[in-house]
Each structure stands twice: as C-alpha cells, then as structure tokens.
Amino acid sequence: MTISETSGSLTWAHIGDLHITAEHEANYRDFQSIIDSMNTHLAGRVDFCVLPGDNADDGSADQYDLIRRALERLKIPVHVIPGDHDRKPGHLDAFYQGLKVASLPNTTTVAGHHCLFLDVVSQGSGGPDFALGKEQLKWLKSQLQSASSQHLASIVFMHAYPADLKRDGTVLKQLLHEYRVAFVDMGHTHYNELANDGTSIFATTRSTGQVEEGPVGFSLASLNHGVVSWRFKPLRSLWPFVMITSPADHRLVTDIARPGHAVAGQFRLTARVFGASRVYDCRCRINEGPWRELHPHGVEWEGLVEAPPQPFTLTVEATDIAATTATDTIVVATPGYRPPQRIADGSDADALSAWPERHLLGTRLGPNRNGKQW
C-alpha cells in the first residue's frame, strides 16, 4: 500500500533544476544535503520525488554518474524527466544510460491519481526548442481519456510551461483544460512560481542550480481530492514542516463549486506534518480565535471546523517531542469569493503575485525569464 492509499491525497517532493557540473561544486553538495534531509524526514511520508529536468548542466556521462550516485542513496521512489540541458549533446543517450530511468513518456497511478511524465526536448532541434510531437500528443490524449473514464485525477510533469513549447503548446493547453488537469509540475524557470489559470495550477521550484534568489531547498506538493497545496522547504530551516492539504488557499482555488475550494458551515480540515520526530500536538484556529485540537488519521491530522461567513485565515500549528513548533497559514475562500479573471494561455501570465510565506518572491531573476540560454 502506498503512503496515500488511506488518505486519498497524493504528496510528492520536488527538487528543481540541478545543473550538476562537478563533484566539488556547491550545487552538488546541496543536492546531497537535500537527499540526506529527505531520507531523515520524508522517507515513508511522501509518495515519490521528482526531478523536472536540466539535471546535468552539459548532459554528459560524468555528470549523470554524479547524479546517479546521489540518487542511489535516496530512500524515496524517484521520477526524473529531461530538460534542454540534458539534451545538450543532441540526444538523451547519456541521460538514460546514466540514470537508468524508464523511457518517456510514461505514467504511474498512485492512490487514485494518474501521474504523466512527458519529454518536451526530444522532438525539438536542441536548446529551448520544446515540442511533444504527434505520437506523444496521441499518447497523452489517450492517457487523459483513460484516467477520466476511471475517475482518476491527472497530474502532468514536464520541463516547461505549455506556452514555452515552440510546437504543440496550444494543443497541450487544450488537453489540460478539456480533461481538467489539476496540477502541472515543471522546472526550467530557476525560481519558485505558482500560476493559476482557473483549471490547472502550474508550479515550478528552484532548488540548487544557478540560484539567483532565495535559499537552497525543495518543494512539497499535494493533491487532495482536487485541492492543490504547495510549499517550499528551505534546506536549512527546522523540522517539523506543516502543510495544510484541505481546504485550498484562495489563490489556488480553481472551481468554487468543488469541495475544499470554498467552504461554508462545517468543513473538514486536513494537514500533513513532516519530520523525523513524533508530533505530540497539532491544533488549528480561525483568524485570531481559540485553538482547536486536531487528531491523527493515518498520515494526516484532521478535524471538523466551522467556517465564518467571510473569507478567513486558517492556521495549523504542530509541535514535536523535541518541542519544536511549526505552522502553516492560508486564507480560505467562502462561497461569495470571485476569482480574478484568467488569461489561461498556458504561460506564466496567471502567475501569483509575491507570496513570501511560500517563498514566492515574484522577482523572476532566473536566466530563462531574462532571455539567457545555456
């Protein structure tokens, strides 16, 4: 049984574009430290880990050897997809031979969630000439149709925004909308970003490679009965780490008619607490009201809470046996909430504004946004 089988939510870790070059470089040491931290605090607590491309800066065999050696120590299942730097030699031979990963595209189903891993680099001419190609588009549509017929939620993992594709981006965007893909997890940007086009949440994470802004770290994401949650975990911040998995923050609402997107009356609150030390207390409160105890239920903490009539702040606080306390806070929508107008063109046009508590700085200092290539 997977981590999520008893909860109905899928939770994964994401280590953004690594751009590994040499063993002595800081980003490789940070990558190893991230793996050590995940092994200690996340093993057995998340479903898998994703590397979203641009793993090796030059796509060379020696760079993949370093990555493979590090990943062999990871105690969490891992999925790796390629980016433009992985195809820098003009092919992905070293990527597949060095990492021993499944050929793309591929898919796996975990606890009612259909995860689709795409290759957007092989059909282009190199660099950021991204495309899917006819066969992969046909495969993707078939997979989305199959998931829909089985009432499975689909999540797409790819290297870049659909609008970054030189070809096939419009068709991909239409498929995401038609089959209501709740989450698209990506790399390429070199900064943390969340975008909400009214159907899908697009997420990118900057971890170690070419760090222009913010600390080294990784993200944790969850899809819980259609509710998307995402948080960035700085490598050197303390554990435990708390993430509210339902209801949704108002910035991540895609359909106020869906459970957990806008709440009224009594609703079920669920949260995940990550860390090696046992949690002995977890509680919540609305706005500045009294604290209410939450109770463990499988891998989650949960409780029934009464919503006020207007949008409200919801805080969850957890304390472990080492007396270390962590919190997560969101702003919850109520039925009168009206989301902003969306552009919904498959790009970052619907990106959220700065959200410092989520390490979303909004400054977009990464080289891809600023027109630099390789």
Q: Are residues 278 and 220 in the same domain?
A: no
Q: Are residues 182 and 208 in the same domain?
A: yes
> Residue 209: its pLDDT value, please?
62
Residue 245 counted as domain residue? no
Q: Are residues 230 and 259 in the same domain?
A: no
Q: Are residues 324 and 232 in the same domain?
A: no
Residue 273 counted as domain residue? yes
Q: Are residues 272 and 232 in the same domain?
A: no
Q: Give the domain CATH number at 320.
A: 2.60.40.650
Q: Are residues 226 and 299 in the same domain?
A: no
Residue 356 counted as domain residue? no
Q: Are residues 193 and 312 in the same domain?
A: no
Q: Are residues 160 and 14 in the same domain?
A: yes
Q: What range does the domain containing 321 cover? A: 250-332
Residue 267 counted as domain residue? yes
Residue 352 counted as domain residue? no
Residue 364 counted as domain residue? no
Q: Are residues 156 and 296 in the same domain?
A: no
Q: Give the domain CATH number at 41.
A: 3.60.21.10
Residue 68 counted as domain residue? yes
Count structural domains, the chain.
Answer: 2
Q: Are residues 317 and 211 in the same domain?
A: no
Q: Are residues 126 and 170 in the same domain?
A: yes
Q: What is the pLDDT along the chain (374 residues), one digit of tens a residue?
A: 455 554 578 999 999 999 999 999 999 999 999 999 999 999 999 999 999 999 999 999 999 999 999 999 999 999 999 999 999 999 999 999 999 999 999 999 998 999 999 999 999 999 999 999 999 999 999 999 999 999 999 999 999 999 999 999 999 999 999 999 999 999 999 899 999 999 999 999 988 865 567 899 999 999 999 999 999 999 999 999 999 999 999 999 999 888 899 999 999 999 999 999 999 999 999 999 999 999 999 899 999 999 999 999 999 999 999 999 999 999 999 999 999 999 999 999 999 999 999 999 988 877 656 654 43
CB environment 85-117: b (16+ within 10 A), e (fewer) = bbbbeeebebbbebbebeebbbbeebbbbbbbb
Domain limit, last residue, from 237, 259, 276: 237
Q: Are residues 153 and 37 in the same domain?
A: yes
Residue 313 counted as domain residue? yes
> Residue 195: its pLDDT value, please?
98
